[in-house]
Chain A
Amino acid sequence: KAGVTQTPRYLIKTRGQQVTLSCSPISGHRSVSWYQQTPGQGLQFLFEYFSETQRNKGNFPGRFSGRQFSNSRSEMNVSTLELGDSALYLCASSLGQGNPGELFFGEGSRLTVL
């Protein structure tokens, strides 16, 4: 059974550019969550999608957005990149229903903003 796949694994952008990251969840999982990990702030929740609908959102500016497709794959976009957006972006998938359950993470996309 394939795990959570994130692409690209590494990318370098410059300030002001935008970036799109992709996440393919485990087959059968309908929930996809996104997290930002930085040395200073640790792991912070960005948003969660279930069946193409955003159910939950963290405290990030509007430059951070996401979407989910009918096949449960998800993308997140960061516009007008800032140096502080340099981070490891992790995606997690789960069944998304019932009581809290296991979230399975991908290997992450490491973004460097110059």
Chain B
Amino acid sequence: AQKITQTQPGMFVQEKEAVTLDCTYDTSDPSYGLFWYKQPSSGEMIFLIYQGSYDQQNATEGRYSLNFQKARKSANLVISASQLGDSAMYFCAIEVSGGTSYGKLTFGQGTILTVHP
């Protein structure tokens, strides 16, 4: 079974500063994908970034980057130049490869990010 741990229930950051949201994972499968989603108060889960277990380089998507440390089983999300609109709940999730695992994401408990002006 897979497990995601997000140890920060809430984080605060000043507008325009960078922030790191922590995520550690546990799986025995060698092939897996790690995801970060943003969930505003409206409820929609917005895909931010993806990292495959065999990817050699850390994933980046605009202001989002994933600090992937495979040996430590961590996949921290870094948001650069925070904006007020970044205030939301952030979830880390894992999906392992395999026919019985398609579509099955295991989520962490989430981190509420608040960006102050």
By a beta-carbon cutoff of 8 Å, the part of chain A in contact with chain B is: 31-33, 35, 42-43, 45, 48, 50, 55-56, 58, 88, 90, 92, 94, 96, 99-108, 110
Contacts of A88 in B (CB 8 A): 43
B107 at the binding interface (Cβ < 8 Å):
yes
Interface string of B24-36 (1 = CB under 8 A from A): 0000000111010
By a beta-carbon cutoff of 8 Å, the part of chain B in contact with chain A is: 31-33, 35, 37, 42-47, 50, 52, 91, 93, 95-97, 99-110
A114 to chain B, nearest CB (A): 20
A32 to B37, CA, bound (A): 17
A58 to B96, CA, bound (A): 15
Interface of A is mostly: strand
Whether the pair A104, B95 counts as a contact (CB closer than 8 A) is no
Which residue from B32, B45, B91, B96 sits with its C-beta under 8 Å from A92?
B45
Which residue from B31, B47, B93, B102 sits with its C-beta under 8 Å from A96?
B102
Whether the pair A45, B105 counts as a contact (CB closer than 8 A) is yes
